[in-house]
Chains A and B, each alone.
Chain A
Amino acid sequence: MAGGGSATSSEARAVHRAASEVVKSAERSQALFGEKADALSQLAALATECAEQGWDGENATAIDSNAVLMAERFLRALPDGIPMPEFAPEPDGSVSLDWIQSRSRLFSLSVSHSNRLAYAWLDGTDKGHGVARFDGQSVPPLMLEGIKSIVRPGYAGLRAA
């Protein structure tokens, strides 16, 4: 009886642990969904604000609806644990996705109608730029390393690359 009780307790603890993991996972998903939903709302607001040619008071191109769609795909492709970027309009109708940790530590990515993405980063005195192809499903590995190296202090992915 004592042994059975012990087994039950063990099972109960395992179930409790599993349930806790499910709850934690659900909370993470909820938080993540909330973050992505907020980011998508901000992207939509930017597209509305800059929907007219000349939104900059000069001759800027209206934000390209295909660029917005591509940016949405990119957001959805971001793996768990990567914070959502901020957005900015670009004069050629592209959307800039920015991860800004400080003035000298940032990663900026340009999304247009094209599946090729231009990006640049500053990391202290280090800086650079690149172009990567986005298949609409997964973030290009080198680009992901670059974003991680900016948003995660101590991560040396981009510098090592």
Chain B
Amino acid sequence: MLASGLPEIVGDDEDLARFLTSSNQFSSLMVKPAAFLPSVRDRETSVFRHGGEPPEALWAIGEAHLPRFHGAAIIKAHDCRATLLDVVTDEPPQRHGAIMGWPWLDNDPMEQKAQQKELAAQLASKAALLRR
């Protein structure tokens, strides 16, 4: 058990929240694929494990860690794993997790980006938009 009280393995049915820090990361229709692209430095996508609590609890997490955000993309862990990406815990901070396993081709960054965009588009197609 982690300090947050959550299990060390992220369950397939767990909701993951990806905070949306730019108003351009979503439209009226959906979360845009770019919102899920990984950090270049960490090579992973930062998420918070969200247990279905009221949105206010999620916003409190965001306020504790981000200077500003407009909402969150909510996606099930199994939808990430269905694309052959993985979801792991990454505490601290509490409840933090990461979507890992993104393609990384150091000799062809554009092919790498294209592969990542295809995966990000699949995640975006499954994500629910929760606006603040």
| Contacts from A to B (Cβ < 8 Å) | 46, 49-50, 55-61, 86-92, 94, 96, 98, 100, 102-104, 106, 108, 110, 112, 114, 116-122, 127-131
Closest to A92 in B: B40
Q: Write the nearest CB–CB distance from A92 to chain B, whole angstroms.
A: 5
Q: Is the CB of A49 within 8 A of B22?
A: yes
- Report the separation of the CA atoms of residues A8 and B107 in the bound assembly, to the nearest whole angstrom: 70
Given known A-B contacts A110-B113, A120-B114, A103 and B25 have beta carbons under 8 A apart: no
- Report the separation of the CA atoms of residues A85 and B121 in the bound assembly, to the nearest whole angstrom: 15
Q: Write the nearest CB–CB distance from B64 to chain A, whole angstroms.
A: 11
Partner of A94, one of B35, B113, B120, B121: B113
Partner of B111, one of A61, A89, A122, A131: A131
Q: Write the nearest CB–CB distance from A124 to chain B, whole angstroms.
A: 10
Q: Is the CB of A129 within 8 A of B115?
A: yes
Sort A-B residue pairs by CB-CB distance and give the 9 closest, nearest first: A120-B117, A118-B113, A118-B114, A88-B34, A120-B118, A57-B66, A129-B114, A96-B34, A129-B118
Q: Is the CB of A116 within 8 A of B110?
A: yes
Q: Is the CB of A61 within 8 A of B40?
A: yes
Given known A-B contacts A118-B117, A122-B121, A129-B114, A103 and B32 have beta carbons under 8 A apart: no
